[in-house]
């Protein structure tokens, strides 16, 4: 087999994950199958067809010294001229996500931890599929669910080898995991819901506005991505993540509070309600977990607060902000295949992105 050409890599978004990815990319021993040709933040951009020639210590200052303004349609044209190129979208931007078809149409692969495109409406998803089919450019999304954990690839392998997926069930949000691992345990008593949320926010485990975690949308997006990776559900969510049955934990009365700090200050008004749910669960020998479920057999995709017996893995084996995913399939029955571990953090997310990049060159 002829050797594969060097893969030109363009990274959009150079925050925590982006920075970690650059380190991992530049640290690969020669012969490095990748060449870093472009970096883009919201304000600056760099492009050099034959490689930027930066190192781990110099890329940030080179980028902020650039005089060019970011322009992704122009980047798509620049990458299209290269022999093999990939766009890495490390933003959480909807605008960037909507441009994936433009890159794929030009033969540029897309790798991303950004959930926005794959969990949006059917039109965008279909446009991505179509563009990819036209040119053979691939789009890879491993790090959109469970960060670096092998969740999407495991599902793909189960489907591709002819196993029948009956149900996927898991704790998909690191933030929700942390909150409920702390709030609801096998022991009586425990901290108030609002104080757990406050501590989580102070530690940087929540979004600046905790409602962005508590509304369940992040879990719904991950479920949309998993559901669409199962053939029988590929067209089941016409509006993407908004078609997922989602229970929001944002109290209705706080729905319009736009400041994260004010939200946390007012949350104690609702501690009694959460306490009641916790006690109900405890009376049944259960704990509360905010989970996502893709019930393939019954065609149900939902994000909800559920009760699990204190002996269940969701109650016994989670710590910190771990994710856990159970695949119930025809082969993995009656005991499911389980994937568990850190579901957030720059190092593990960048690893998920890196593993997708390696799929393109190996
Ligand atoms: N952190 C994790 O553990 C984790 C796990 C799994 C998946 N993810 C996903 O990884 C992605 C990044 O996460 P995040 O929360 O860190 O995102 P974020 O803070 O919003 O990062 C935004 C970064 O992207 C750049 N950016 C934003 N919009 C842009 C645009 N239109 N054009 C060019 N650059 C743009 C920003 O540039 P400036 O630097 O100039 O502002 C910034 O560096 C998200 O999609 C997230 O869901 C993260
Ligand atoms: C990339 O991902 C990390 C982790 O999600 C995030 O903190 C960072 O801001 C993202 N964006 C860029 C531009 O790297
Ligand atoms: C995720 O990527 C895989 C290819 O690795 C693809 O088969 C699957 O359909 C994708 N799912 C979504 C929702 O993008
Ligand atoms: C509960 O919160 C504490 C303090 O933030 C943290 O150290 C601990 O890991 C959490 N407990 C669980 C079970 O996640």
pTM of the predicted protein model: 0.90
Atom of ligand 3 nearest to the CA of 153: 5
Within 10 angstroms of residue 342's Cβ, the number of other Cβ atoms is 19
- Asked if residue 93 has its Cβ within 6 Å of ligand 1, the reply is yes
CB neighbours of 83 closer than 8 A, spacing ≥ 6? 5, 6, 8
Query: What is the residue range of 141's domain?
Result: 7-147+347-360
DSSP 330: S
Atom of ligand 4 nearest to the CA of 178: 14
Helix H, strand E, coil C: the string for 145-192 is CCCCCCCHHHHHHHHHCCCCEEEEEEECCHHHHHHHHHHCCCCCCCCC
Same domain for 86 and 164, yes or no, is no
d(CA 186, CA 81): 59
Please indicate whether residue 156 is annotated as part of the active site. no
Within 10 angstroms of residue 205's Cβ, the number of other Cβ atoms is 19
H or E element, residue 89 = strand 85-89
Asked if residue 203 belongs to a domain, the reply is: yes
Predicted pLDDT of residue 1: 66
> Which tokens belong to 133?
């089919």
The answer to whether 207 is annotated as binding is yes
Predicted pLDDT of residue 254: 97
Same domain for 132 and 258, yes or no, is no
CB neighbours of 58 closer than 8 A, spacing ≥ 6? none
CA 121, distance to chain mean position in Å, is 17
Please name which of 74, 73, 89, 81 lies closest in space to residue 12, comparing C-alpha atoms. 89
Length of the chain: 362
| Total domains in the fold of the chain | 2
- Asked if residue 114 has its Cβ within 6 Å of ligand 2, the reply is no
Distance 322 CA to ligand 4 centre (A): 11
Catalytic residue among 222, 276, 302, 307: 222
Asked if residue 2 belongs to a domain, the reply is: no
CA torsion sign for 307, 313, 317, 323 is: negative
Same domain for 197 and 130, yes or no, is no
Predicted pLDDT of residue 60: 94
Same domain for 281 and 315, yes or no, is yes
Same domain for 168 and 312, yes or no, is yes
Contact, 122 vs 239, CB < 8 A? yes
Block means of pLDDT (10 residues each) for the chain, 362 residues, are 84 88 89 94 96 92 95 98 96 94 98 95 96 97 95 97 98 97 94 97 92 97 97 94 98 96 97 97 97 96 98 95 96 97 90 94 88
Could you tell me the CATH number of the domain that includes residue 31? 3.40.50.720
Bond preceding residue 31 cis, omega within 30 of 0: yes
The answer to whether 15 is annotated as binding is yes
């Amino acid at each position: 087999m002829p050797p594969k050409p060097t893969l030109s890599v363009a990274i959009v978004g150079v925050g925590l994950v982006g920075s970690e990815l650059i380190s991992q990319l530049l640290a690969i021993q020669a012969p490095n199958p990748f060449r870093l040709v472009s970096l883009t933040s919201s304000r600056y951009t760099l492009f050099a067809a034959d490689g930027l020639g930066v190192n781990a210590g110099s890329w940030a200052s080179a980028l902020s010294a650039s005089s060019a303004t970011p322009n992704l349609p122009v980047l798509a044209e620049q990458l299209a001229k290269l022999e093999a190129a990939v766009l890495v979208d490390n933003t959480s931007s909807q605008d960037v996500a909507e441009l994936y078809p433009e890159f794929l149409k030009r033969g540029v692969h897309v790798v991303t931890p950004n959930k926005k495109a794959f969990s949006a409406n059917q039109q965008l998803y279909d446009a991505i599929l179509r563009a990819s089919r036209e040119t053979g450019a691939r789009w890879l999304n491993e790090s959109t669910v469970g960060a670096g954990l092998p969740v999407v690839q495991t599902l793909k392998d189960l489907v591709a080898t002819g196993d029948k997926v009956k149900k996927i069930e898991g704790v998909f949000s690191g933030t929700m995991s942390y909150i409920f691992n702390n709030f609801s345990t096998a022991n009586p008593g425990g901290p108030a819901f609002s104080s757990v949320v406050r501590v989580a926010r102070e530690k940087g485990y929540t979004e600046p506005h905790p409602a962005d975690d508590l509304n369940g949308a992040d879990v719904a997006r991950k479920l949309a991505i998993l559901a669409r990776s199962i053939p029988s559900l590929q067209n089941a969510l016409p509006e993407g993540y908004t078609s997922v049955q989602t229970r929001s934990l944002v109290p209705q009365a706080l729905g319009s509070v736009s400041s994260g700090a004010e939200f946390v200050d007012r949350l104690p008004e609702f501690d009694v309600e959460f306490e009641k749910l916790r006690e109900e669960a405890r009376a049944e020998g259960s704990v509360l977990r905010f989970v996502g479920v893709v019930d393939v057999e019954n065609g149900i995709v939902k994000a909800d607060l559920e009760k699990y017996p204190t002996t269940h893995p969701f109650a016994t084996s989670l710590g910190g902000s771990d994710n856990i995913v159970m695949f119930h399939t025809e082969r993995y029955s009656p005991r499911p295949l389980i994937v568990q571990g850190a579901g957030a953090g720059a190092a593990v997310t960048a690893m998920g992105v890196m593993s997708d990049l390696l799929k393109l060159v190996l």
